Amino acid sequence: MGVCATPCRHHPLSEKYPSVEQEKHIPNLQKFIEQLAEGLTTVFPNNQATYHRVHALLITWGPNDDLRTSIEIGELRDLFQKTYHFTTEHFIIPPERSEQKLLKKIVNTWDEHADARDLLIVYYGGHGIIKSGKNIWQAWKEKPSSATTERVITPELDWSEAQRSLMKADGDVLFIMDCCYATFTSKIEPKGGTKELLAATTFKQKAAGSHENSFTRALIRELKQINGAPYTATMIHERLLNHHKEYDIAVPQYVALHRTLNSRSIILVPQNVTLAINPPPEIVEPNPLIRQPKLMTDYRILISVAFVNPYETPDLIQWNEWFRKAAPRNIQDVKLSIEEYIRPEGAWESMSTYYLFSMPVSVWNSLPLNPAYSMLAIIKSDNLL
């Protein structure tokens, strides 16, 4: 009798009892600790992380937008110019031939900022939908009185082709998407530098409809509080997530679209200014070269990890010794302790050994994709039992 290689309608997996014996595992706890330590090298900014040029391209539908984004865009652009000294441009998508004209703008911007030492920030604020498996941007849900077109049906465009062009850039690209279904991306083969996404929602969610509690408004508030201190994209995401209830927004998303081996998360720091200026209150005691922000732990990520060894139960002293040996040496002024970055929440013997850990958001963002790691929940307390 033949056996199907993958589940099918004849031999489906049980919804209550998936094939647990075929779960992916990592060899041992020491390997996990090593990957954790390696991931930390990408979280913190360093004094060599500045860019040759940084340009922010802010994209909206302008007067054809029914979300009233003009005030927010003005504030965000002002922050990038005056606090960070980035060059900026606000591109208003025209209602006719929208996709072609946006793609032309993207290609021209890419040509001007294509150097491997450059950072390009691409922001979009507006409507987004998924149609026929594509990420579609739309001007309005209800046509605004300010619209500059006679069209009755909303202008729209497919963002996928423009994004595909940017994913091939040699330099780093930070996408900031304040729209519905913001993490939906087509399958794109990237190359070049780091590509990261900060997004208002997942590919299954709608964003806030009011500009008073929008993702962009929350981002502006966080950047004002940071006040020019060096922060990586993953740490900015961590701040947004820790404060999302205060801002009344959906859980913000972070996606590492592409990173080269051991590459650091994209850093936002004022151009032509030393990294030690204007530290927010969370900054620890300074090193002459750099001041490091502390990770935020109001919210933590609870994950499960499956190990091959069914008797993988070392004590905390052994954990710390592994972590001390594997800890990155190029993080200055950060006291690396395993208790701060990884907290064991439970362990059970199964067909293998099954662990629960909790960790700060940035640490989870830094871990490599591994089917042995599964995010279970975002938590904000210790174990209540």
Q: Take residue 385 and report the two structure tokens written for it.
A: 């039992």
User: In the beta sheet, which residues pair with residue 87?
Assistant: 55
Flag the least confident range among 37-41, 219-223, 270-274: 270-274
* Cβ-based neighbour number of residue 310 at 10 Å: 12
Every domain of the chain and the residues it spans: 29-44+295-379, 53-145+153-268
Average pLDDT over residues 137-142: 92
Cα of first residue to Cα of last residue in the chain, in angstroms, is 48
What local confidence, expressed as pLDDT, does residue 76 receive?
Answer: 97
Residue % of the chain over a pLDDT of 90: 40
User: Whole-number mean pLDDT of the chain?
Assistant: 81
* Cβ-based neighbour number of residue 10 at 10 Å: 6
* Cβ-based neighbour number of residue 373 at 10 Å: 18
Average pLDDT over residues 136-165: 90
| Start-end of H helices in the chain | 29-40, 70-82, 98-112, 160-166, 215-226, 233-242, 244-247, 316-326, 338-341, 361-366
pLDDT at 91 over 80: yes
Query: How far, in Å, CA of 178 to CA of 197, rounded?
Result: 11
pLDDT at 281 over 50: no
Query: How far, in Å, CA of 14 to CA of 18, rounded?
Result: 5
Flag the least confident range among 11-15, 146-150, 239-243, 262-266: 11-15
pTM for the structure as a whole:
0.85
Amino acid letter, 289? L
Amino acid letter, 243? H
Instruction: Choose between 360 and 23: higher pLDDT.
Output: 360
Contact 296, 360 (CB under 8 A): yes
Q: pLDDT grade, residue 207 (50/70/90)?
A: low
Q: Which of 199, 138, 169 is nearest to 55 (CA)?
A: 169
Instruction: Choose between 372 and 222: higher pLDDT.
Output: 222
Looking at the domain covering 53-145+153-268, what would its CATH class be?
Answer: alpha beta
Tens digits of residue pLDDT in 188-200:
667 788 999 999 9
3-state secondary structure of 49: coil
Average pLDDT over residues 137-144: 91
Q: φ and ψ at 314, to 5 degrees?
A: -75, 160
The count of C-alpha atoms lying within 13 angstroms of the C-alpha of 377, restricted to the half-sphere facing its C-beta, is: 7
